[in-house]
């Protein structure tokens, strides 16, 4: 019978053909595997196998079925997946107790149970007790397997890079392997990757067993720098057992003797990239200015379309011949994943090549914007010192004519050079720009943090910049009038207007003397990690206001959440999975309202 229904047709296996009595083919266990063979030493397991054979024969010849049922299962260690010995298994109702054997089978069974609902509880010293509910059916075996974890604290099995490693790539992903499945949120909240004066944000991803964590820094690490990866106390496994704090240090590769990429635009795995963006990579050393770079940067979309365009070597005076930029002939496709490959044959002035290909990915926005150009940005009388400046003596501009120097600076770059001893801001106060829904303000900036203002001087958005030339766009779902663009500046910062538009460059600007000043207010609303899943931490600016509110909006302007902020609170952690479980992945606007002032930032939720 078993041989016949193994295949469900007369084309059976045939191993029982020569027998002259009723027979059953059983593959309940195998003699050639130690773990499987251990089950044969358990009388409850062999009873289950015999009962199964008898059920088959009875059903085949008589059609009679048993009216009682059986609950059985195997108890294993979740860390090793090995069966556990001497586990106390209790069944209720009935208060029956069974112990797994000491032959490493982990098997238990309760026989002759009336149909109905039962609870099974397993207990073993040094392990987490677990309970499950089982519905017993007449004439069947109903199974309840358990995988329980040790109550001993989890440990870290390995970290890559290892402690005290040197020469680590500035683009490396860090991995941490744990001894058992971990509570993801508690681990991610306890991690800090930092160097002196620099704390890195990163994206986190886990393997399916939740035992291996990969950290992908958002941007390159600094060259020739010691980094510290700290896992602070507070991380737990899935059972709530605390992991001891742990710290490792490693040193990144040097950029003075090696040719390595040190900055990329767009950044690795960046989402919602504007379709008018250029693609650039900055190197640690100057490249050969005589080389042909036409086919050194390849950009391919996920539908296998190669992006056509020109490749320029930036020969600006600040970092000559260090940046390659691909300028697409046409805007990138909407909502497409792109892979950028820089060929390993790119070489510096000494002939040292990159060696291996360098790749990264990004995804474009699903919106199609029409960028507005700031063609009047060259007018010096439209640049003013921002109210945040902490000195009373401002720069005097000398030789203020806009210089169209196409040989020194590419058409899509512009530069303001000035010497400013202190920190403050510079604001462009040109003509107002009306944006309709679907329009965007587009501009380039280098080494600054652009701030977009409305007509009343309220900050609409603070954008981030990692030091390289970057294309920015600001768009609103509702009509808005742009009243100005500001930059947080200190020394040698720049601005360029429009998309592939005219150049402006101001030179020979004198220095200034700084009077003693008070600490300027911090107007940044910072979100990290960003993108995030499921939690994001907001660093609030220092301000004085009697009433403060934090709001979350969709890009359609729909208010999703509004919470009060207590006095003195400067760190807010939002877990969207808990607070708004039905929220979809996408870009959201966070708005901090402090009295008459408002600060905004965008966050990207990856569900």
| Secondary structure, 3-state, 477-507 | CCCEEEEEEEEEEEECCEEEECCCCCCCEEC
Q: Tell whether the model's pLDDT for residue 347 goes beyond 80.
A: yes
For the ranges 127-141, 322-336, 456-470, 471-485, the one whose mean pLDDT is highest: 127-141
Question: How confident is residue 408, by pLDDT bands cut at 50, 70 and 90?
Answer: very low
Say what the pLDDT of residue 367 is: 63
Q: Name the residue with higher pLDDT: 407 or 523.
A: 523
The per-residue DSSP string of 285-311 comes to S-B-TTS--TTTEEEEETTSPBPPEEE
The pLDDT mean for the chain works out to 75
Q: Name the residue with higher pLDDT: 430 or 288.
A: 288
Same domain as 183, residue 119: no
Helix or strand or coil: residue 277?
A: coil
Peptide bond between residue 261 and the one before it cis (omega within 30 degrees of 0): no
Q: What percent of the chain has pLDDT over 90?
A: 28
pLDDT digits (tens, 9 = 90+) for 500-531: 233 333 322 222 222 222 222 334 567 777 77
Q: Tell whether the model's pLDDT for residue 410 goes beyond 90.
A: no
pLDDT digits (tens, 9 = 90+) for 225-244: 999 999 999 999 988 899 99
Indicate the helix (H) or strand (E) that contains 578. Answer: helix 576-579
* In-domain check, residue 111: yes
* In-domain check, residue 511: no
Q: Which residue has the tokens 């911090």?
A: 522
Question: How confident is residue 415, by pLDDT bands cut at 50, 70 and 90?
Answer: very low
Who contacts 298 (Cβ-Cβ below 8 Å, separation ≥6)? 306, 340, 341, 343
Distance, in Å, from the CA atom of 351 to the CA atom of 336, rounded to the nearest integer, reads 36
Say what the pLDDT of residue 247 is: 96
Contact predicate 306/338, CB 8 Å: no
Say what the pLDDT of residue 24 is: 67
Question: How confident is residue 595, by pLDDT bands cut at 50, 70 and 90?
Answer: low
Q: Tell whether the model's pLDDT for residue 542 goes beyond 60.
A: yes
* In-domain check, residue 42: yes
Same domain as 376, residue 356: no
The CATH code of the domain that includes 90 is: 2.60.40.10
Q: How many Å is the maximal CA-CA distance in the chain?
A: 110
Who contacts 88 (Cβ-Cβ below 8 Å, separation ≥6)? 97, 98, 99, 122, 123, 124
pLDDT digits (tens, 9 = 90+) for 28-48: 777 777 778 888 888 888 888
Say what the pLDDT of residue 36 is: 80
Contact predicate 96/111, CB 8 Å: no
Say what the pLDDT of residue 470 is: 58
Same domain as 167, residue 109: no
Question: How confident is residue 597, by pLDDT bands cut at 50, 70 and 90?
Answer: low
* In-domain check, residue 513: no
Q: Tell whether the model's pLDDT for residue 423 goes beyond 60.
A: no
Contact predicate 127/180, CB 8 Å: no
Question: How confident is residue 375, by pLDDT bands cut at 50, 70 and 90?
Answer: very low
* Tokens representing residue 105 in the block: 């089978």
Question: How confident is residue 357, by pLDDT bands cut at 50, 70 and 90?
Answer: very high
For the ranges 377-381, 541-545, 557-561, the one whose mean pLDDT is highest: 557-561
Average pLDDT in the 331-345 region? Answer: 92
Same domain as 420, residue 346: no
Same domain as 358, residue 419: no
Same domain as 135, residue 112: yes
For the ranges 102-106, 491-495, 501-505, 585-589, the one whose mean pLDDT is highest: 102-106
Average pLDDT in the 424-434 region? Answer: 61
- Looking at the chain, how many residues does it have? 607
Q: Name the residue with higher pLDDT: 53 or 158.
A: 158
Least confident of 62-71, 262-271, 471-480: 471-480
Contact predicate 48/70, CB 8 Å: yes
State which residues form the domain around 326.
Answer: 261-364
Same domain as 115, residue 193: no
* CA-based nearest residue to 90, from 143, 44, 131: 131
pLDDT digits (tens, 9 = 90+) for 444-455: 555 556 677 777
Q: Tell whether the model's pLDDT for residue 559 goes beyond 90.
A: no
Same domain as 534, residue 448: no
Helix or strand or coil: residue 57?
A: helix
Say what the pLDDT of residue 12 is: 59
* In-domain check, residue 519: no
Say what the pLDDT of residue 413 is: 32
Distance, in Å, from the CA atom of 487 to the CA atom of 120, rounded to the nearest integer, reads 65
Q: Which residue has the tokens 């054979």?
A: 53
The CATH code of the domain that includes 277 is: 2.60.40.3710
Q: Tell whether the model's pLDDT for residue 197 goes beyond 90.
A: no
Q: What percent of the chain has pLDDT over 70?
A: 71
Q: Tell whether the model's pLDDT for residue 348 goes beyond 60.
A: yes
Same domain as 408, residue 450: yes
- Alpha-carbon dihedral angle through residues 38, 41, 42, 44, given to the nearest 10 degrees: 120
Q: Tell whether the model's pLDDT for residue 377 goes beyond 90.
A: no
Residue ending a domain, choose from 188, 218, 252: 252
* In-domain check, residue 521: no
Q: Tell whether the model's pLDDT for residue 376 goes beyond 60.
A: no
For the ranges 11-25, 56-70, 184-198, 579-593, the one whose mean pLDDT is highest: 184-198
Distance, in Å, from the CA atom of 238 to the CA atom of 154, rounded to the nearest integer, reads 10
CB atoms within 10 A of CB 587: 15
Distance, in Å, from the CA atom of 177 to the CA atom of 155, rounded to the nearest integer, reads 9
The 8 Å CB, 24+ separation contacts for 159-165 are 159/229, 159/246, 159/248, 161/248, 161/250, 162/248, 162/250, 163/248, 163/249, 163/250, 164/248, 164/249, 164/250, 165/250, 165/251
In order of 285, 312, 350, 404, 465, the CA distances from 289 in angstroms are 12, 10, 11, 22, 27
pLDDT digits (tens, 9 = 90+) for 460-482: 777 765 545 556 677 777 888 87
Say what the pLDDT of residue 500 is: 28
Same domain as 382, residue 301: no
Residue ending a domain, choose from 109, 124, 148: 148
The CATH code of the domain that includes 205 is: 2.60.40.1220
Average pLDDT in the 23-29 region? Answer: 70
Residue ending a domain, choose from 96, 122, 148: 148
Q: Name the residue with higher pLDDT: 418 or 180.
A: 180
Q: Tell whether the model's pLDDT for residue 114 goes beyond 80.
A: yes
The total of structural domains in the chain comes to 5
Q: Tell whether the model's pLDDT for residue 2 goes beyond 50.
A: no
Same domain as 226, residue 315: no
Backbone phi, then psi, for 88, in 5-degree steps? -80, 120
* 344 backbone φψ class: left, alpha, beta (φ>0; ψ -120 to 50): alpha
Say what the pLDDT of residue 149 is: 86
* In-domain check, residue 518: no
Q: Name the residue with higher pLDDT: 228 or 458.
A: 228
Same domain as 343, residue 377: no
Q: Tell whether the model's pLDDT for residue 189 goes beyond 70.
A: yes
Q: Which residue has the tokens 């040190």?
A: 262
Distance, in Å, from the CA atom of 155 to the CA atom of 243, rounded to the nearest integer, reads 6
Least confident of 62-71, 177-186, 494-503: 494-503
Q: Tell whether the model's pLDDT for residue 399 goes beyond 70.
A: no
């Amino acid at each position: 019978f078993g041989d016949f229904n193994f295949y469900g047709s007369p084309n059976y296996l045939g191993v029982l053909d020569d027998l002259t009595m009723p027979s059953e083919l059983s593959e309940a266990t195998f003699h050639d595997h130690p773990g499987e063979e251990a089950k044969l030493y358990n009388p409850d397991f062999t009873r289950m196998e015999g009962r199964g054979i008898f059920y088959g024969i009875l059903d085949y010849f008589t059609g009679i079925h048993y009216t009682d049922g059986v609950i059985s299962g195997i108890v294993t260690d979740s860390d090793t997946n090995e069966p556990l010995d001497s586990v106390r298994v209790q069944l209720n109702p009935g208060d029956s107790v069974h112990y797994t054997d000491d032959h490493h089978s982990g098997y238990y069974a309760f026989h002759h149970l009336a149909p109905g609902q039962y609870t099974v509880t397993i207990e073993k010293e040094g392990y987490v007790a677990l309970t499950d509910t089982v519905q017993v059916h007449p004439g069947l075996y109903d199974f309840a397997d358990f995988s329980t974890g040790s109550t001993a604290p989890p440990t870290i099995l390995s970290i890559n890079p290892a402690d005290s490693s040197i020469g680590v790539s500035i683009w490396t992903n860090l991995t941490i392997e744990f001894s058992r499945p971990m509570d993801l949120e508690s681990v991610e909240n306890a991690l800090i990757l930092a160097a002196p004066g620099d704390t890195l944000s990163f994206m986190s991803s886990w393997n399916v067993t939740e035992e291996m964590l990969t950290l992908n820094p958002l941007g390159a690490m600094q060259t020739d720098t010691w980094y510290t990866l700290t896992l602070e106390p507070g991380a737990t496994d899935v059972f709530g057992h605390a992991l001891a704090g742990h710290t490792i240090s490693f040193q990144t590769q040097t950029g003075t003797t090696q040719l390595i990429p040190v900055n990329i635009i767009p950044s690795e795995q960046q989402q919602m990239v504007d379709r008018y963006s250029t693609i650039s990579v900055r190197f640690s050393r100057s490249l050969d200015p005589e080389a042909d770079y036409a086919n050194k940067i390849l950009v391919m979309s996920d539908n296998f379309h190669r992006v056509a365009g020109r490749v320029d070597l930036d020969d600006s005076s600040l970092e000559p011949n260090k940046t390659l930029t691909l300028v697409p002939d046409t805007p990138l496709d909407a909502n497409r994943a792109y892979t950028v490959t820089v060929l390993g044959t790119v070489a510096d002035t000494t002939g040292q090549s990159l060696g291996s290909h360098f790749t990264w990915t990004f995804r474009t926005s699903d919106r199609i914007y029409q960028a507005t150009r700031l063609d009047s940005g060259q007018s010096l009388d439209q640049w003013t010192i921002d109210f945040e400046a902490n000195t009373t003596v401002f720069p005097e501009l000398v030789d203020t004519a806009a210089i169209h120097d196409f040989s020194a600076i590419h058409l899509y770059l512009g530069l303001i050079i000035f010497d400013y001893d202190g920190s403050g801001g510079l604001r462009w106060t040109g003509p107002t720009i009306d944006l309709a829904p679907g329009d965007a303000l587009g501009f380039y900036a280098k080494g600054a943090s652009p701030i977009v203002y409305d007509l009343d001087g309220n900050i609409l958005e603070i954008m981030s910049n990692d030091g390289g030339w970057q294309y920015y766009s600001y768009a609103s779902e509702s009509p808005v009038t742009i009243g100005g663009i500001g930059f947080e500046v200190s020394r040698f910062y720049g601005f360029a207007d429009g998309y592939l538009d005219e150049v402006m460059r101001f030179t020979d600007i004198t220095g200034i003397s700084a009077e003693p000043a008070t600490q300027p207010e911090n107007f940044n609303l910072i979100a990290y990690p960003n993108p995030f899943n499921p939690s994001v931490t907001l660093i609030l600016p220092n301000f004085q206001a009697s009433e403060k509110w934090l709001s979350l909006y969709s890009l359609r302007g729909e208010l999703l959440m509004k919470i009060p902020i207590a006095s003195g609170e400067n760190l807010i952690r939002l877990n969207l999975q808990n607070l708004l479980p039905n929220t979809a992945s996408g870009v959201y606007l966070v708005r901090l309202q402090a009295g008459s002032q408002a600060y905004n930032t965008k966050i990207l939720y990856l569900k």
